[in-house]
């Protein structure tokens, strides 16, 4: 009996020893896996999470490492989107600055040509009877009007929030965009409330919202052949806010696509024609400026973008879009 008990005891001990050894061996393997994964994450690994093979503290550590990797991934994506949006915004601002520079440079030769034409007209030089200086005059007037519009447009570029005339912003922005080839066939209709109160926001940013919405409407009208392409721009008071609607009778989109339009990088346009950042940027801008934006659309019939602007400083949340 004593022998059996001793044997059993030894067997038990041996079993315990083996189990302990196996436990520590597995622990070593799991800790090494964790260590490798932690290093991989440091080096940029963001793919499938570690399978959680244990219920103990090591298992919890595995879960925590997985959570950390996915949080890092989300944050990195957010940062990338913000960086791209910032670039988009900078690009638009650069266009304004460039336009102002061009307008300024063109201004001087135009003034000179106009002066010469004027003098020719006044002198009525016999030698120049067929020269028609009046035509030079008319054409220079036209160019001068264009540069005036560009200057007006570029003068919106200020980073400070202030009270603004929305109808004025709409007029100058759309008159400049009229020179875009894509708008050539399009009828622009204005339904502006001339009693509109001032809105509060950053002119440069709100101009970008208007430009983005007009470009989207313009793009939606590109393939419309069975009806006259029309964009209707309307403003009115809505409670404490001011409402803007930019409506087109273009291609429209289905309800499934509509749910995604404010996502960064979502686009239905061909590569090189859209980055999918326009509406996402408009959304951030309107949030920061204490307003909101939404889009309605019917496939095959058209779309309407609605923007609500704040009329007071209270809702304004700062210029930083990040």
Ligand X SMILES: Nc1ncnc2c1ncn2[C@@H]1O[C@H](COP(=O)(O)OP(=O)(O)OP(=O)(O)O)[C@@H](O)[C@H]1O
Interface with ligand X (CB under 6 A): 212, 216-217, 220, 248, 250-253, 257, 261, 266-269, 274-280, 297, 303
Helix count and strand count (H, E) for the chain: 7, 7
Residue 81: CB minimum distance to ligand X, A: 12
Closer to Mg ion by Cβ: residue 151 or 267 = 267
Contact partner, 275, from Mg ion, ligand X, none, Cβ < 5-8 Å per class: ligand X
Residues that bind Mg ion (CB under 5 A): 216, 278
Distance CA 150, CA 173 (A): 9
**Residue 317 token pair:** 């949340």
The sign one gets for the Cα dihedral 264, 267, 271, 277 is negative
Helix axes 166-177, 133-154, angle to 10 degrees: 130
Choose the one of ligand X, Mg ion, none that binds residue 214, judging by a C-beta under 5 to 8 angstroms depending on kind. none
Of the two residues 40 and 263, which places its CB atom closer to ligand X in the complex? 263
Closer to Mg ion by Cβ: residue 62 or 305: 305
Q: How far apart, in whole angstroms, are the C-alpha atoms of residue 191 and residue 16? A: 87
Q: Return d(Cα 320, Cα 322) in angstroms, integer.
A: 6
Kindly tell me which of 151 and 245 has the beta carbon lying closer to ligand X: 245
Q: Which does 53 bind (CB under 5 to 8 A by kind): ligand X, Mg ion, none?
A: none
Beta bridge partner(s), residue 244: 235, 307
DSSP-derived 3-state class of residue 187? strand
Find residue 232's DSSP bridge partners.
189, 247
Rg (CA), the chain: 33
Output the smallest distance, CB 267 to Mg ion, in A. Answer: 8
**Whole-number minimum distance, CB 245 to ligand X, in Å?**
11
Q: Which is nearer to ligand X, 65 or 286 (CB)?
A: 286
CB atoms within 10 A of CB 283: 19
CB of 269 to ligand X, least distance (A): 4
220 contacts which partner out of ligand X, Mg ion, none, CB within 5 to 8 A by kind?
A: ligand X
| Closest separation in Å from C-beta 248 to ligand X | 5
């Amino acid at each position: 009996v004593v022998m059996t008990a001793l044997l059993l005891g030894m067997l038990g001990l041996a079993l315990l020893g083996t189990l302990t050894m196996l436990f520590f061996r597995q622990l070593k393997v799991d800790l090494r896996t964790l260590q490798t994964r932690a290093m991989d994450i440091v080096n940029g690994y963001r793919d499938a999470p570690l399978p959680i093979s244990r219920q103990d503290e090591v298992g919890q550590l595995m879960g925590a490492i997985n959570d950390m990797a996915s949080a890092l991934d989300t944050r990195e994506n957010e940062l990338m989107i913000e960086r791209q949006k910032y670039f988009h915004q900078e690009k638009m601002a650069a266009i304004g600055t460039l336009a102002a520079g061009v307008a300024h440079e063109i201004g001087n030769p135009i003034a000179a040509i106009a002066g010469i034409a004027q003098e020719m007209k006044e002198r009525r030089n016999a030698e120049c009877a067929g020269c028609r200086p009046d035509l030079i005059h008319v054409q220079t007037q036209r160019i001068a009007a264009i540069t005036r519009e560009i200057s007006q447009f570029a003068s919106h570029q200020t980073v400070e929030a202030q009270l603004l005339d929305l109808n004025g912003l709409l007029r100058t922005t759309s008159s400049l965009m009229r020179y875009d080839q894509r708008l050539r066939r399009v009828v622009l209709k204005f339904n502006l409330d001339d009693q509109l109160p001032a809105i509060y926001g950053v002119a440069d940013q709100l101009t970008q919202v208007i430009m983005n919405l007009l470009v989207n409407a313009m793009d939606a009208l590109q393939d419309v052949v069975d009806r006259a392409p029309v964009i209707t721009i309307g403003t009115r008071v809505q409670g404490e806010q001011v409402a803007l609607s930019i409506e087109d009778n273009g291609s429209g989109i289905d309800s499934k696509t509509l749910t995604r339009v404010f996502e960064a990088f979502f686009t239905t346009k061909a590569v090189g024609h859209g980055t999918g950042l326009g509406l996402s940027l408009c959304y951030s801008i309107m949030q920061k400026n204490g307003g909101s934006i939404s889009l309605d659309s019917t496939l095959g019939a058209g779309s309407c973008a609605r923007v609500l602007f704040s009329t007071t400083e209270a809702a304004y949340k700062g210029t930083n879009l990040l």
